Each structure stands twice: as C-alpha cells, then as structure tokens.
Chains A and B, each alone.
Chain A
Amino acid sequence: DAKTTQPNSMESNEEEPVHLPCNHSTISGTDYIHWYRQLPSQGPEYVIHGLTSNVNNRMASLAIAEDRKSSTLILHRATLRDAAVYYCILKPYRDDKIIFGKGTRLHILP
C-alpha cells in the first residue's frame, strides 16, 4: 500500500502563506493525491485533490512534483481558523483500502 510521509507539526504566522509538504515515493500511476484537514472536535473535511497537474480551489492550492513523489499543499494566507491537522493521502484508482498517515498539526500564530 502506498504511504505518505508528513512532518509532525508546523507553525506559521497569521496572514502568511503556508506550505505543507508530503512525500509519497511509492505512489502508483493511478493514485490520486488527496488532502484533508481536521479541525478540533470535528470530522475530517476535504481540502483538495489532484493527479498530475497543479490544482487550485477556494481553500488552497496543490502543487505536485513532476515525478509525483511529493506534493505541497499551499494555504495562501493563513488565518487562525486554519489551525488543524492536515492529512495527505493517496486514493487508489479502485477506491479500496485508504491509508491515512498521522498528518501535520498546523499551528497559526497571531
């Protein structure tokens, strides 16, 4: 099963961009890269996903390395409400077993 590696925690200042890295060196050609976040006392919520090209949505941007062995979630202007645990996961083509890593706990400093 393809797995991901993320830093345990990161800190950022409010209103500054945040770059959250994820390594997935064993990714297969049909695995999608998904990012979720979990705010305190809530269930995970979807943030963004991609396959090969960089992606943007209203919440964040996803930059995928050319060899697909790593990716970076970019929050363009962090707010205190972005403090959460961010999970990078690989979603197999057939949507079978999904493995969440331990994620990165993001702290936002006012």
Chain B
Amino acid sequence: EAQVTQNPRYLITVTGKKLTVTCSQNMNHEYMSWYRQDPGLGLRQIYYSMNVEVTDKGDVPEGYKVSRKEKRNFPLILESPSPNQTSLYFCASSRTVSNQPQHFGDGTRLSIL
C-alpha cells in the first residue's frame, strides 16, 4: 500500500531535549516536505526536498533541521525544542512534477513543555 509513515504519532517532551520525527515513503517520490499546523494559521511549510541531498527552506524553517540522505526518508530534527514548536506536524511526498498530488502522513502531535 502506498503510504507516508511518520513516527512517533504523539510525543511529549521538555525544552532543549533534541528530538527527531521520522518520515518514510514507499512510492519512490523525489519530492518530500514537512508542514506544521497551528490553530488559525493553517498549514505552513517548514522545509522541502526536491531529491536526495537537496533541501530548501519553506516559510517557517527557524528551529528545525532536515536531511535527505536516502530517497525514501526525510527526518525532521529539532535540535533544541522550545514550547513555540508545540504543534501538529505533517510530512508529505510527491513526484517532482507540478501536476502530481502530494500524499500526506497521518501527522505527529508534538508537545514541548
């Protein structure tokens, strides 16, 4: 089954403790992206990747890092999480042509205390 898998689905942690949210897709998609969703603000893009070893900033990249060492994986890294990064996070993937739809994961709810 074609899918985008995020882990963990839920995480409560404390300020400053490094964490990684993993994202994996099994569709051989070139394009992958991370979004955060906050009440009243909709979906905002954090980082995206057009292909292996190619990443770029979205609208709200501050406080986040990503890597794309393999085509299928696109982890989101919070080196020193802060409470303002408490949010619902979605990973998405698609083929790298503009008429291809994005496939989204089920989301990761992060709470930073």
Contacts and interface: CB of A to CB of B under 8 A. Distances in A.
Nearest to B105: A43
Contacts of A43: 90, 92, 104-107
Interface residues of A, number: 26
Interface in A67-110: 87, 91-103
Contacts of B41: 102
Interface residues of B, number: 29
B40 to A, nearest CB: 8
A52 B78 CA distance: 41
B71 to A, nearest CB: 15
B97 A103 contact: no
Interface in B73-112: 90, 92, 94, 96-107
Given A43-B90, A43-B107, A103 B98 contact: no
B45 interface: yes
Contacts of A95: 31, 50, 94, 96-98, 100
Contacts, number: 66
B43 interface: yes
Main secondary structure of the interface of A (DSSP, over half): loop
B104 A100 contact: no
A16 interface: no
B102 A46 contact: yes
Interface of B: 31, 33, 35, 40-45, 48, 50, 56, 58-59, 90, 92, 94, 96-107
Given A32-B98, A91-B98, 19 more contacts: A43-B92, A43-B104, A43-B107, A44-B90, A44-B92, A46-B101, A46-B102, A49-B99, A51-B99, A87-B43, A93-B98, A94-B50, A95-B31, A96-B48, A97-B56, A97-B58, A99-B45, A99-B59, A102-B40
| The 9 nearest A-B residue pairs measured at CB | A46-B101, A43-B104, A100-B43, A102-B42, A32-B98, A93-B98, A91-B98, A44-B104, A95-B96
